[in-house]
Amino acid sequence: MTAQYSGDKKTPVLRLENIVRAYGPVRAVDGVSFDAYPGQFIALLGPNGAGKSTLFQLLSGLFTPDSGLIDVMGHDMRRDPVPALAGLGIVFQQSTLDLELTVRGNLLFHSGLHGIPGAIARQRIARELDRLGLSDAADNKASALSGGNRRRVELARALLHEPRVLLMDEATVGLDIQSRADLRKLILSLRRERGVAVLWATHLTEEVVDADRVIVLHKGKILRDTTPAELLASTGKASIEDAFLGLTGSPPKAAA
Ligand code: ADP
């Protein structure tokens, strides 16, 4: 059996306090606050336009909020961005692998960017590829991989610097049903093994059912931050999709 994380689970690894980001009159993120704890799989559920991408861009340091605090492992993202960003692993919605490089080449390049010494990088690359079932593909060009395996390489890459928070922005977009389910299962077990907090943005209700927490985002605001079971109980609905519809008046898959 795989070892489970046995460290501190009570100190938040990510804290958001009253984050606001507007584009002109549109408050894309409008007063969002929550904490994420080690080992939690948190689904951020919202339709197109809910503010998920904007929130992820703020979390990944691409730009700063108009107001509010983002804290990663005790480091304020605005005042102390380097250690804050070092605590985050990110898998973007769009693939960002260099398709001309091998799998190992992609991972070595990223290790270099993070200043991970060569011997340690090689050890970690071997460990992650083994964990993700990709050891045999290490010397293949990224272009030769299936969509599901490319995502796995991006996941391996996001884990190389041993982040405590893993951000996955609609990471299953473009994958077939089996690959989507496999990726989610993998993340669910990794978060227990590594004690990493996972923030999984999605507009797909079926990706929420086995989350530890679901945060319902609508028009930039958090409508609920709860468990999937409590979301159903409190709305009196039989499915997450109906619960979402009841809360927002719009189905999660439709444009807002
Ligand atoms: P999601 O990722 O949930 O689909 P977004 O964060 O992309 O949501 O969008 C939230 C809101 O902010 C939407 O109303 C969208 O139109 C607006 N928005 C996002 N990016 C920009 C931008 N660069 N300029 C103007 N408005 C934007």
Q: Which atom of ligand 1 is nearest the CA belonging to 24? A: 25
Q: Which atom of ligand 1 is nearest the CA belonging to 29? A: 10
165: helix, coil or strand? strand
Q: Residue 10 C-alpha to ligand 1 middle, in angstroms?
A: 33
For ligand 1, atom 20, the nearest C-alpha belongs to 54
- CB atoms near residue 118 (< 10 Å): 10
User: What does the alpha-carbon distance between residue 256 and residue 123 come to, in Å, rounded to a whole number?
Assistant: 45
Which conformational region is residue 31 in: left (phi greater than 0), alpha (psi within -120 to 50 degrees), or beta? left
For ligand 1, atom 23, the nearest C-alpha belongs to 23
Q: Which residues contact 17 (CB under 8 A, 6 or more apart)?
A: 33, 68, 69, 70, 71
Ligand 1 pocket mutation, candidates 29, 45, 53, 170, criterion most atoms within 8 A of CB? 53
Helices then strands, each counted (H, E), the chain: 8, 10
Taking only the tens of pLDDT, the chain with its 256 residues reads 567 888 888 899 999 999 999 999 999 999 999 999 999 999 999 988 999 999 999 999 999 999 999 999 999 999 999 999 999 999 988 888 999 999 999 999 999 988 999 999 999 999 999 999 999 999 999 999 999 999 999 999 999 999 999 999 999 888 899 989 999 999 999 999 999 999 999 988 889 999 999 999 999 999 999 999 999 999 899 999 899 888 888 766 644 3
Stated as kind and residue range, the H or E segment containing 152 is: helix 147-159
So where are the chain's domains? Answer: 1-7+36-87+163-256, 100-162
User: What does the alpha-carbon distance between residue 158 and residue 132 come to, in Å, rounded to a whole number?
Assistant: 12
Ligand 1 contacts (CB < 6 A) are 23, 26, 28, 46, 48-54
Q: Which atom of ligand 1 is nearest the CA belonging to 48? A: 4
- CATH number (3.30.420.140, 3.90.1150.10, 2.60.40.1120, 3.40.50.300) of 1-7+36-87+163-256 reads 3.40.50.300
